[in-house]
């Protein structure tokens, strides 16, 4: 009945095993827990895919930074726009809108923003963020069209910035706050984020296991039995290189009903008893033809 789990352990399943009326033996519980750090083929492939995505993301943002900081080559801006246009990431679409705004191309900015709801299936939260982007970029667009900047905007336009700072979603909320800070109308202290001192890994939980008594080599349950019995054995110091161990079940007249060899130090065996006659049977654990322990079991209809 021994088995091995080649995937991450479900602690819910472990708790169910731990709550069995007859506890899981030490050997089997240890075998299950040994698979905790074993990674399945699917998980290994997901890890490789995640690694490749991280490498691609790093290369992409390094390229974007290179184009933005290149003040010598006049084609860098066109290369940056072409790069952002061919990306399927939502955040990069907003970055593309900001690049159009930076050069005063409000038509290009409007086209990008209008296409986002059609290109992406936005969640309710993303829709809220998108609306905040529209409000903020409309404010910046009006400043350009009216020949103003963030320092010369009127109180009516600035009320939109205050509203976004109070009720907007990130990152638009931070954009609005930065405008107010630059104008000297908002006192802001950067928060100091301290590391969480609590460990992030799962804590080790001890699980209840069955125990043999010091002189016992075998446990048999359930007793009485109807359709099956489970024989749990632990040969302990009896298990040596040339040992010949077996489990034998016989009726009270000595007629053998079941026999099997034991090739492990400890294990659990499931024995079907539905074909046995009702009455008493004797389960014997034999080592080199010598009975080291026997137990009586009642078979019922």
Give CA–CA dist 119/129, Å, rounded. 16
pLDDT along the chain (301 residues), means of 10: 44 68 64 63 84 92 91 88 91 93 91 93 93 93 87 82 90 91 83 71 54 70 86 80 84 89 84 89 88 89 80
pLDDT at 137: 93
pLDDT at 109: 94
Nearest Cα neighbor of 93 from 134, 55, 52 is 134
pLDDT at 18: 66
- Measured CA distances, 283 to 37, 115, 174, 220, 300 (Å): 38, 77, 75, 8, 16
At 106 the three-state DSSP class reads: helix
pLDDT at 3: 39
pLDDT at 4: 39
pLDDT at 125: 93
Positive or negative, the CA dihedral 125, 126, 131, 137 is positive
Give CA–CA dist 88/90, Å, rounded. 6
pLDDT at 170: 92
Q: What Rg, from alpha-carbon coordinates, does the chain have?
A: 36
Domains in the chain: boundaries: 87-189, 217-299
pLDDT at 146: 85
Give CA–CA dist 109/47, Å, rounded. 37
Is 217-299 assigned to CATH 2.60.40.1930? yes
pLDDT at 287: 87
Q: Are 224 and 298 in contact (CB under 8 A)?
A: yes
Tokens linked to 49: 């895919």
């Amino acid at each position: 009945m021994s088995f091995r789990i080649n995937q991450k352990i479900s602690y819910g399943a472990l708790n169910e095993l731990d709550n069995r009326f007859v506890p899981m033996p030490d050997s089997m519980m240890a075998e299950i827990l040994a698979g905790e750090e074993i990674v399945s083929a699917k998980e290994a492939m997901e890890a490789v895919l995640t690694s490749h995505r991280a490498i691609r993301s790093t290369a992409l943002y390094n390229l974007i930074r290179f184009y933005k900081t290149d003040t010598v080559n006049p084609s860098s801006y066109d290369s940056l726009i072409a790069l952002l246009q061919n990306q399927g990431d939502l955040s990069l679409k907003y970055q593309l809108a900001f690049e159009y705004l930076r050069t005063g191309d409000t038509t290009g900015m409007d086209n990008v923003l209008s296409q986002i709801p059609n290109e992406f299936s936005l969640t309710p939260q993303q829709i809220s963020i998108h609306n905040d982007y529209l409000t903020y970029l409309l404010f910046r667009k009006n400043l350009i069209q009216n020949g103003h900047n963030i320092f010369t905007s009127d109180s009516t336009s600035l009320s939109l910035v205050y509203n976004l700072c109070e009720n907007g979603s990130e990152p638009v909320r931070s954009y609005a706050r930065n405008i107010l800070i630059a104008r000297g109308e908002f006192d802001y202290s950067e928060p100091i984020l301290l590391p969480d001192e609590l460990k992030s890994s799962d804590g080790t939980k001890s699980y209840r296991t069955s125990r043999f008594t010091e002189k016992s080599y075998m446990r048999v349950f359930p007793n009485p039995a109807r359709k099956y019995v489970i024989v749990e054995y632990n040969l302990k110091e009896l298990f040596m290189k040339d040992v010949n161990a077996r489990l034998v079940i016989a009726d009270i007249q000595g007629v053998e009903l079941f026999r099997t060899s034991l090739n492990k130090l400890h294990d659990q065996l499931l024995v079907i008893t539905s074909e046995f006659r009702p009455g008493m049977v004797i389960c014997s654990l034999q080592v080199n033809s010598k009975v080291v322990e026997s137990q009586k079991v009642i078979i019922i209809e």
